[in-house]
Amino acid sequence: MAEKINLDRNLTIEAVRVTEAAAIAAAETMGRGDEKVADQAAVDAMRTALNRLHMAGTVVIGEGERDEAPMLFIGEEVGTGDGPKIDIALDPLEGTTITAKGMPNGLAVLALSEAGGLLNAPDVYMDKIAAGPGVPVGAIDLDNSAAENINNVAKAVGKNPKDVVACILDRPRHGELINSVREAGARIVLIGDGDVAGVMATAMPEIWPAAL
C-alpha cells in the first residue's frame, strides 16, 4: 500500500506555477499555425518548472511511452528527487490545434497525488461524462444509455430533455453517441478540441457557454 502523505501547501502553490509557465510559453505560439511548436514550448516550460520542485515525481499519465514521445512521457522522473514521492498526471497543452489556430480553451493541465494515488493507465481513449450543478450523484453513469442520462439530468433540474445541451468532442468515433443524444431530444454543442474545457463548462455554466 502506498504511504499516505499530505501534499505540502508550498508544493501545491508551486504546481500552479508549473501550469502557469506552460500556459505562458504556449501563449507565445498562439495563432502561429504550428501545433508541434506550441506543444513543444509548453512541454519544455512544464518540464523545467517541474524539475525545480522539491519532490521525487513520476509521470504516470503523460504524452505517451518513452520510445513514442519526445515529450513528458509516462515513467519520466521529475523534480529534485529529495522530497515526497509524487504521482503526476499532465498535459502541458490540452488543445494544441485550437492554440495553433488562435482559438479559446487551450489549457495546461496538471494533477498531483501521493505515490500510488493515480491510475497508471495505458495511452488509450476513455469514455468520460460530467454534469453540472443540481445533478445528483448517480443521475449520470457511463453504463447508462444516452437517453437515460439525458432524461435523468432533465428530471434532476426540472427541465424537459429538449432543454438539455450536451457538449461532445466532434470525432467519428462519437457518431453513434451523437445520434443517440439527438434521438433522446437533447441538443449538442460539438467542439473540435479541448474536452477538458468542455468538462469544466458543466461546472461553470455562467462563464463557459459563450467560449465553447
Q: Tens digits of per-residue pLDDT, 137-159?
A: 889 999 999 999 999 999 999 99
Cα distance between residue 35 and residue 99, in whole Å: 7
Instruction: Say which residue, 62 or 17, is predicted with more confidence.
Output: 17
Class of domain 9-114: alpha beta
Q: Tens digits of per-residue pLDDT, 98-119?
A: 999 999 899 999 999 999 999 8
Residue 114 cell numbers, joined = 501521493
pTM of structure: 0.82
Residue 71: predicted pLDDT: 82
Instruction: Provide the mean pLDDT of the chain.
Output: 88
User: 168 has which bridge partners?
Assistant: 190
Outline where DSSP puts E strands in the chain: 56-61, 77-78, 85-94, 107-114, 165-169, 187-191
Q: Tens digits of per-residue pLDDT, 1-18?
A: 344 455 667 788 899 999
Domain ranges (residues) in the chain:
9-114, 125-212
Residue 29: predicted pLDDT: 97
End-to-end, the C-alpha distance of the chain in Å comes to 41
Q: CATH number for 125-212: choose from 3.90.79.10, 3.40.190.90, 3.90.1300.10, 3.40.50.1220.
A: 3.40.190.90
DSSP classification of residue 142:
T
